[in-house]
C-alpha cells in the first residue's frame, strides 16, 4: 500500500550499508536534509487517530461525573476542575500503558507498535531498579511482585477515572504507588511522566484549592524547557525537525535550514534565528501567564502558548509526544484561562510548597548542572537537543543473543520484515544514523566510533533508544535508560564475547561548562576509554566529518 511506503533514499541502501562511516554519514545526512526520516504518510494518520481516541477516552471518563461528558455539551464542561483532574489521571494511565510517548514507527516500534504493559505485566522482563540490591524490589528481572504493583497502579487509576468525584481515598493510592514503582523500575517512573502528572496528582490530593499548585507545575514545564535551550544545541534541533516535518515539505525551505546544502549541513543563520525565537517564546509564555491578571495580557500569553505548541505538534517530533502536547495546551486553558485570579501565593501547606520547590526548582536545576545524575525528563529539558545518548554496536549477527531476553518485541529488522523487503528496511532504519549525526552532540560519533571498533562496516549500528525499547519496553530520549546498568543486565543474560558488543555513551553538556563527557565500553571487558570533547570544536565540524 502506498500509504505505508516510506520515501526511498537517493541511493542503494544495501550498497550504502557497506560503505565506511564518513561516506555513509554524508549520504544519509544529505538525504535527511531533504527527506527527513521518510516516514510513510499512513504513520501520521495512525498518530492522528490515536489522538482522537485519547481525547474520546477522556470524554468517556468525564461522563462518570454528573454534569460532565458528552461531545454535544463539551463547551459547557471542558474547563471544569474535575475534567482537568481526570485528564491528568487519564494521561498518566495512557502513558503508563505505553500508548503515548515512545510508541509507533517514529520511535522504532513497528510490530507491536508499543511496549509498555506488554513488558510491565510480564515476569522475567528486564528492569532498572533504583537500588538493584534492595530486597524484594531490587534485581534486574521483573518479578510477580513487580507485576502486581504495576497492575495495582492501573487499577487505582481506572478506579479514580470512573468515580463521580475525586477524593483522597482515590488519589492516595496513586500518590503512593508511583514513587514505589520508581524504586522497582525507574523506567516506570519516567514512563508515567511523573515530573508532570504525578506532581500534579500530589497537588490534587493535598492542596485545597489545588489550582495554584497545578499552575506552578505547568509554569515549570515551560520555563525549564526554554531555559534548557540557552546553548548551541537547539539550532540543530530546528534543522532536524523542519527537514522531518510532515507539513513543511518545501525543498527550498529545507535547504535554507543549512549553511550550504549539500556540502555544509551546519545550521544556517535562519535556523539559528528560528531557534532563538522559539527559546524566547518558550520562556515568554510562563512569564506572561505568571504575571497576567487577566485581560489583554492573558490573551497574548495564550496566543503565544498556542503558537509554541502548534509548531511542536505540527512537526511531529521523534518520540511523538503528541498527546502530551495536547495535554499541556488543555492545561493552559483549564488553569490559566479559566482561573486567572488564582496566584501562586495561594499555594497550600508549607510542606507542599517545599515539595514543589524540590520537584520544580531543585531537581531541574540539578539536572542542568549535573545532567549525568538526573533524567532529562525530571530536569524538564524537553526538545533542547542537549541529551545524553548511547550507541550499541553489534558485531555481525551477535545481536541474535538478545533473543535470550524475555521481551515482547523482536529485533527491529524482524519487525520491519513484516511490511518491507530488505532494501526498504535498511533504507528506512538507516536514517536513524543521520538523526543522531545531525544533532550537535552527534557530531562526536565520527570521532568516537573509530575508537570503539576497528571496522565500522563489521558492526550493526543501533541507537540505545531502540535497544531500550526492545529490552525495557519503553524509551523516550533518556540516554540514562541504556547506559552501563542496562549493559550489565543484558550481558548477565546474553553473555557477549569480547568485541561482540561495544557501546558509546555520551552525556549532556552541563550548564556553565563547554564539554561533553563520553565513555566507550565492551560488554564483557568493561570500560575501554573515557574523556571529554569540546562543544566548540564540534560546532565547526560537519555531521559526518572523520577525525
What is the pLDDT confidence band of residue 234, given thresholds at 50, 70 and 90?
very high
Count the Cβ atoms, other than its own, within 10 Å of residue 145: 12
Local structure of 5: helix, strand or coil: coil
Of the candidates 381, 390, 388, 389, the one whose C-alpha atom is nearest the C-alpha of residue 509 is 388
Q: How far apart are CA 368 and CA 381, in angstroms?
A: 8
What is the pLDDT confidence band of residue 323, given thresholds at 50, 70 and 90?
very high
pLDDT score at 316: 83
289-301 pLDDT tens trace: 999 999 999 999 9
Cell numbers for 311: 509548531
451-480 pLDDT tens trace: 999 999 999 999 999 999 999 999 998 999
What is the pLDDT confidence band of residue 62, given thresholds at 50, 70 and 90?
very high
Q: Is residue 398 a contact partner of residue 501, using CB atoms and an 8 Å limit?
A: yes
77-86 pLDDT tens trace: 999 999 999 9
Count the Cβ atoms, other than its own, within 10 Å of residue 156: 21
pLDDT score at 108: 80
pLDDT score at 84: 98
Count, residues in the chain: 547
403-445 pLDDT tens trace: 999 999 999 999 999 999 999 999 999 999 999 999 999 999 9
pLDDT score at 315: 87
Q: What is the mean pLDDT of the chain?
A: 95
- Report the pLDDT averaged over residues 29-40: 93
- Report the pLDDT averaged over residues 263-275: 97
Return the half-sphere exposure (C-beta side, CA atoms, 13 A cut-off) of residue 335: 27
Return the half-sphere exposure (C-beta side, CA atoms, 13 A cut-off) of residue 76: 8
List CB contacts of 193: < 8 A, sequence separation 6 or more: 91, 92, 95, 101, 324, 377
pLDDT score at 383: 86
H or E element in which residue 84 lies: helix 81-96
Tell me the helix, strand and coil percentages in the chain, rounded to 5.
Answer: 55, 10, 35
Q: Is residue 64 a contact partner of residue 293, using CB atoms and an 8 Å limit?
A: no
Question: The cell 495512525 sits on which residue?
Answer: 46
In this prediction the pTM is 0.95
Q: How far apart are CA 285 and CA 213, in angstroms?
A: 18
> What percent of the chain has a predicted confidence (pLDDT) above 90?
89
What is the pLDDT confidence band of residue 504, given thresholds at 50, 70 and 90?
very high
Q: At how many degrees (to 10) do helices 269-291 and 211-227 cross?
A: 160
pLDDT score at 1: 54
355 has a pLDDT exceeding 70? yes
pLDDT score at 105: 81
Local structure of 126: helix, strand or coil: strand
Cis peptide leading into residue 216 (ω within 30°): no
Please spell the DSSP secondary structure of 326-380, one letter per residue. Answer: HHHHHHIIIIIIT-TT--GGG---HHHHHHHHIIIIIHHHHHHH-TTTS-TTTTT
Q: How far apart are CA 123 and CA 142, in angstroms?
A: 5
Q: How far apart are CA 394 and CA 462, in angstroms?
A: 8
Residue of 25 and 317 predicted with greater confidence: 25
124 has a pLDDT exceeding 60? yes
113 to 100, 407, 543: CA distances (angstroms): 11, 14, 30
DSSP for residue 507: P
Q: How far apart are CA 35 and CA 427, in angstroms?
A: 12
pLDDT score at 547: 63
Q: Which residues pair with 141 in a beta bridge?
A: 126
89 has a pLDDT exceeding 60? yes
Q: Which residues pair with 538 in a beta bridge?
A: none
What is the pLDDT confidence band of residue 258, given thresholds at 50, 70 and 90?
very high
H or E element in which residue 423 lies: helix 422-429
444 to 258, 487, 512, 545: CA distances (angstroms): 19, 21, 20, 9
181-233 pLDDT tens trace: 999 999 999 999 999 999 999 999 998 889 999 999 999 999 999 999 999 99
Q: Which residues pair with 459 in a beta bridge?
A: 395
Q: How far apart are CA 472 and CA 38, in angstroms?
A: 26
What is the pLDDT confidence band of residue 367, given thresholds at 50, 70 and 90?
very high
pLDDT score at 138: 95
Q: Is residue 257 a contact partner of residue 33, using CB atoms and an 8 Å limit?
A: yes
Q: How far apart are CA 547 and CA 545, in angstroms?
A: 7
Q: How far apart are CA 221 and CA 316, in angstroms?
A: 19
Q: How far apart are CA 28 and CA 527, in angstroms?
A: 30
Pairing mode, strands 389-395 and 526-534: unpaired
Q: At how many degrees (to 10) do helices 322-331 and 211-227 cross?
A: 130
68 has a pLDDT exceeding 80? yes
Amino acid at each position: 500500500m502506498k500509504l505505508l511506503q516510506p520515501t526511498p533514499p537517493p541511493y542503494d541502501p544495501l550498497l550504502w550499508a557497506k560503505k565506511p562511516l564518513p561516506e555513509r554519514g554524508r549520504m544519509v545526512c544529505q538525504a535527511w536534509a531533504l527527506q527527513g526520516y521518510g516516514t510513510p504518510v499512513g504513520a501520521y494518520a495512525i498518530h492522528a487517530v490515536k489522538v482522537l481516541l485519547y481525547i474520546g477516552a477522556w470524554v468517556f471518563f468525564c461522563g462518570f461525573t454528573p454534569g460532565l461528558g458528552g461531545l454535544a455539551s463539551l463547551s459547557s464542561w471542558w474547563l471544569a476542575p474535575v475534567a482537568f483532574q481526570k485528564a491528568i489521571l487519564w494521561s498518566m494511565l495512557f502513558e503508563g500503558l505505553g500508548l503515548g510517548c515512545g510508541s509507533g514507527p517514529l520511535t522504532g516500534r513497528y510490530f507491536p507498535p508499543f511496549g509498555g504493559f506488554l513488558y510491565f505485566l510480564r515476569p522475567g522482563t528486564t528492569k532498572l531498579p533504583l537500588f538493584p540490591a534492595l530486597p524484594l524490589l531490587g534485581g534486574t528481572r521483573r518479578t510477580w511482585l513487580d507485576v502486581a504493583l504495576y497492575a495495582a497502579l492501573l487499577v487505582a487509576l481506572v478506579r479514580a477515572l470512573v468515580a463521580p468525584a475525586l477524593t483522597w481515598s482515590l488519589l492516595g493510592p496513586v500518590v503512593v504507588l508511583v514513587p514505589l514503582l520508581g524504586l522497582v523500575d525507574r523506567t516506570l517512573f519516567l514512563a508515567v511522566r511523573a515530573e508532570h502528572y504525578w506532581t500534579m496528582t500530589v497537588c490534587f490530593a493535598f492542596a485545597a484549592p489545588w489550582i495554584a499548585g497545578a499552575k506552578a507545575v505547568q509554569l515549570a514545564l515551560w520555563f525549564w524547557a526554554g531555559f534548557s535551550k540557552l546553548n548551541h544545541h537547539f539550532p540543530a534541533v530546528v534543522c532536524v525537525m523542519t527537514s522531518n516535518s510532515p507539513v513543511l515539505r518545501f525543498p527550498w525551505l529545507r535547504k535554507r535550514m543549512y549553511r550550504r546544502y549539500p556540502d555544509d549541513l551546519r545550521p544556517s543563520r535562519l535556523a539559528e534565528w528560528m531557534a532563538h525565537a522559539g527559546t524566547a517564546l518558550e520562556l515568554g509564555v510562563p512569564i506572561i501567564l505568571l504575571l497576567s491578571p487577566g485581560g489583554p495580557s492573558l490573551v497574548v500569553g495564550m496566543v503565544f502558548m498556542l503558537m509554541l505548541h502548534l509548531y511542536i505538534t505540527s512537526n511531529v517530533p521523534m518520540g511523538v509526544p503528541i498527546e502530551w502536547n495536547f495535554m499541556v495546551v488543555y492545561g493552559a486553558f483549564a488553569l490559566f484561562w479559566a482561573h486567572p485570579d488564582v496566584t501562586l501565593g495561594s499555594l497550600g501547606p508549607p510542606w507542599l510548597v517545599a515539595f514543589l520547590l524540590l520537584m520544580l526548582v531543585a531537581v531541574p536545576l540539578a539536572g542542568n548542572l549535573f545532567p549525568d545524575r538526573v533524567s532529562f525528563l525530571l530536569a524538564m529539558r524537553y526538545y533542547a537537543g542537549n541529551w545524553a545518548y548511547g550507541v550499541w554496536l553489534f558485531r555481525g549477527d551477535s545481536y541474535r543473543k538478545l533473543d535470550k531476553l524475555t521481551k515482547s518485541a523482536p529485533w527491529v529488522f524482524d519487525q520491519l520484515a513484516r511490511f518491507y523487503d530488505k532494501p526498504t528496511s535498511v533504507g528506512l532504519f538507516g536514517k536513524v544514523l543521520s538523526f543522531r549525526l545531525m544533532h550537535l552532540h552527534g557530531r562526536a560519533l565520527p570521532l568516537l566510533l573509530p575508537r570503539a571498533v576497528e571496522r565500522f562496516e563489521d558492526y550493526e549500528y543501533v541507537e540505545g533508544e531502540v535497544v531500550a525499547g526492545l529490552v525495557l519496553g519503553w524509551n523516550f530520549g533518556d540516554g540514562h535508560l541504556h547506559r552501563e546498568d542496562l549493559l550489565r543486565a543484558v550481558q548477565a543474560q546474553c553473555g557477549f564475547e569480547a568485541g561482540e558488543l561495544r557501546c558509546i555513551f555520551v552525556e549532556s553538556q552541563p550548564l556553565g561548562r563547554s564539554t561533553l563527557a563520553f565513555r566507550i565500553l565492551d560488554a564483557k571487558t568493561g570500560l575501554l576509554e573515557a574523556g571529554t570533547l569540546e562543544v566548540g570544536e564540534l560546532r565547526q565540524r560537519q555531521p559526518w566529518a572523520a577525525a
